[in-house]
Chain A
Amino acid sequence: MSSRRSRSRQSGSSRISDDQILDLVTKLQQLLPEIRNRRSDKVSAAKVLQETCNYIKSLHREVDDLSERLSELLETTDTAQAAIIRNLLMQ
């Protein structure tokens, strides 16, 4: 407990505890598909960071590909059909 007090004095307004960081890292770990399937509890934090970066990059790439595909599709689709789709999705 005393270590927390000294830490708050040093880092000022940002009170960061080990538990908090551990919590965040484990939460992040659960979201990553690769680490979730491996079933091992002992994954280093650096590995989690690396996997997070890779996963976000791959998600970005997917979104880019999808938006390119959408732009091509939107060129050729009829505007009436877009209105139909919008109505269907809002149900």
Chain B
Amino acid sequence: MESSPSAAAIVSTNANINMDRTRRKKKKKSQSQQQQSKQNKNSQSHAKWKTDAQQQIYSSKLIQALSQVNINPSSSSAPRQGRAVREVADRALAFAAKGKTRWSRAILTSRIKLKFRKQQHRRQRFASSSFSSSSGSTAVTTGSSSRPSRKHKVSILRLKGKGLPAVQRKVRVLGRLVPGCRKQPLPVILEEATDYIAALEMQVKAMSAIAELLSRSNSGAGSTSEPMSS
């Protein structure tokens, strides 16, 4: 009835968005292939977030979950519903990760706890300071390794020894930003952060594509009919 012209519009916009996505994907994929050809083991975790299939899996899961969320136009305010959508999106993202990474498991196992964990971040300072004292002594013994770039070595030593409180602070902030990585040592945080950033980028792409589809279908169809289910 009225849905067929809007369906046609949705098909064309979907094709356009897919073309944009594949163009962007080709550029990004060639770049990532050049730079990550050495580390085959880890490149898989990044490349998997950039594939179209992964984005489609995530998008369909997200829409499925969103249709189950009760969005009442009359009751709650916009920020609270936005927060609910964000949590649904994060959970769908963690689900798409298939539980191989720490941050995805942390998201899936703690729905409400995540809000309360923000108040407990002071306890983590004890854990990070104990780790830095053990690694600070070992940083001195690595002077014999032959490395061409001295600047890298110095910065890595500083990072490892965590002599600077600024670096220590940044590592802690980063650990707080990535879910489930507060008490983790530095290499774990770095690894989780790389996967988390790739996943977030995919999430942004998928959600903006869905938002585009919805807004175009809304404006195209000009839906003035009231929702039947209140």
- Which A residues fall within an 8 A CB radius of B? 3, 6-7, 10-11, 14, 16, 18, 20-25, 27-28, 30-32, 36, 41-42, 44-46, 49-50, 52-53, 55-57, 59-60, 62-64, 66-86, 88-90
- Across chains A and B, which 4 residue pairs bring their CB atoms closest together, nearest first? A68-B82, A67-B85, A24-B190, A67-B86
Q: Which residues of A contact B46 (CB under 8 A)?
A: 31
Partner of B141, one of A6, A36, A66, A74: A6
Q: A18 touching B142 by the CB < 8 A rule?
A: yes
Q: Are B63 and A63 in contact (CB under 8 A)?
A: no
**With A46-B155, A46-B164, A71-B81 in contact, do A10 and B194 touch (Cβ < 8 Å)?**
no
A-B contact pairs, 12 of them (CB 8 A): A24-B190, A46-B167, A56-B197, A59-B197, A63-B89, A66-B207, A67-B85, A70-B214, A76-B218, A78-B221, A81-B3, A81-B214
Known A-B contacts A44-B155, A56-B178; A24 and B194 likewise in contact (beta carbons under 8 Å):
yes
Task: Contacts A7-B138, A14-B185 given; indicate if A71 touches B84 (C-beta within 8 A).
Answer: yes
Query: Chain B contacts of A75 at CB under 8 A?
Result: 71, 73, 81
Contact with A along B131-160 (1 / 0, CB 8 A): 000110110011011000101110111111
Q: A6-B138, A6-B141, A64-B86 are in contact. Are A42 and B149 (CB under 8 A)?
A: yes
Which one of B7-15, B19-27, B107-115, B118-126 is at the A interface? Answer: B7-15
A21's partner among B78, B134, B151, B160 (CB-CB below 8 A) is: B160
B82 adjacent to A67 (CB under 8 Å):
yes
Measured between beta carbons, the chain A residues less than 8 angstroms from B170 are 46, 49-50, 53
B interface: dominant SS:
helix
Residue in B35, B159, B174, B208 whose beta carbon sits within 8 Å of that of A53 in the complex: B174
- Alpha-carbon separation in the docked complex, A46 to B152 (Å): 11
Residues of A within 8 A of B207 (CB): 63, 66-67, 70
Tell me if B127 is interfacial: C-beta within 8 Å of chain A: no
Within 163-207 of B, Cβ neighbours of A (below 8 Å) are at 164, 166-167, 170-171, 173-174, 177-178, 185-187, 190-191, 193-194, 196-198, 200-201, 203-204, 207
Please indicate the chain A residues that have their CB under 8 angstroms from the CB of B81 in the complex. Answer: 68, 71, 75
Query: Does B56 sit at the interface, judged by CB under 8 A?
Result: yes
Q: Check if A72 sits within 8 Å of B10, measured CB to CB.
A: no
**Which residues on the A side are within 8 Å of B186 (C-beta)?**
16, 21
B218→A77 contact, CB < 8 A: yes
Residue of B whose beta carbon sits closest to that of A88: B14
Complex contact A85–B138 (CB within 8 A): no
* Residues in chain A near residue B67, CB distance under 8 A: 79, 82-83, 86
Given A57-B177, A73-B215, A85-B10, are A63 and B82 also a contact pair (CB < 8 Å)?
no
Assembly CA distance A31 to B119 (angstroms) = 30
Does B214 contact A77, Cβ atoms closer than 8 Å?
yes
Least CB distance, B69 to chain A, in whole angstroms: 8
